[in-house]
Structure 1
Amino acid sequence: MKDIVVVKFGGSCAASSDLARWVAAVEKTRIPLVIVPGGGPFANTVRRYQQRIGYDDEAAHEMAILAMEQFGCALVSLASRLVKAGTTEAIMKALDEGRIPVWMPRDAVLADPSIPKDWCVTSDSLAAWLAGQLPGARLCLVKQIDIPESATVEALVGAHVVDDCFAQLLDAATQVYVAGPADLASAGLRLEEGQIPGRLVAGQTAAVPAMAG
Structure 2
Amino acid sequence: MWVVKIGGSLCGDPLLPDWLRLLGQLGGGRIALVCGGGTLADEVRQLQARWDTDDLSAHNMAVLSMVQTAYLFNSLNPDLRLVSREADIGPTLRRGGVALWQPLELLRHQPDPATNWQHTSDSIALALARRLNAERLVLVKSCPIDPGLDVDQLVRADVLDNGFAPLARQAGLPIDVLSRDEGDGLRELLLYGQRGVGLGQPH
Read off the aligned partner of 1:148 and give its amino acid letter. Answer: D
Deviations 1:36-86 (A, max 9, x none): 000101101111112333321111011101101110111111113211223
Which residue is 1:156 aligned to? Answer: 154
Which residue is 1:210 aligned to? Answer: none
Which residue is 2:7 aligned to? Answer: 10
Work out which of the residue numbers 25, 32, 38 in structure 1 matches 2:22: 25
8 Å contact from structure 1 (residues 109, 115) kept in 2:
no
Q: Which runs of 5+ in 1 are unaligned?
A: 206-213
| Aligned alpha-carbon RMSD (Å) | 2.4
Equivalent pairs: percent with the same residue?
31
Aligned positions, number: 201
Query: How far 1:168 moved relative to its partner?
Result: 2.5
Work out which of the residue numbers 28, 51, 54 in structure 2 matches 1:53: 51
8 Å contact from structure 1 (residues 11, 38) kept in 2:
yes
- Say if 2:97 is the partner of 1:99: yes
Which residue is 1:173 aligned to? Answer: 172
Query: How far 1:25 moved relative to its partner?
Result: 1.1
8 Å contact from structure 2 (residues 80, 99) kept in 1:
yes
Q: Which runs of 5+ in 2 are unaligned?
A: none
Q: CA 1:197–1:130 in 2, change beyond 3 Å: closer, same or farther? A: farther
Read off the aligned partner of 1:26 and give its amino acid letter. Answer: L
Work out the CA distance in 1 between the residues paired with 2:101 and 2:196: 21
TM-score by length of 1: 0.84
Read off the aligned partner of 2:160 and give its amino acid letter. Answer: V
Query: How far 1:126 moved relative to its partner?
Result: 0.5
Q: CA 1:111–1:5 in 2, change beyond 3 Å: closer, same or farther? A: farther
Work out which of the residue numbers 16, 37, 40 in structure 1 matches 2:38: 40
Work out the CA distance in 2 between the residues paired with 1:75 and 1:113: 29
8 Å contact from structure 2 (residues 63, 106) kept in 1:
no
TM-score by length of 2: 0.88
Q: CA 1:199–1:188 in 2, change beyond 3 Å: closer, same or farther? A: closer
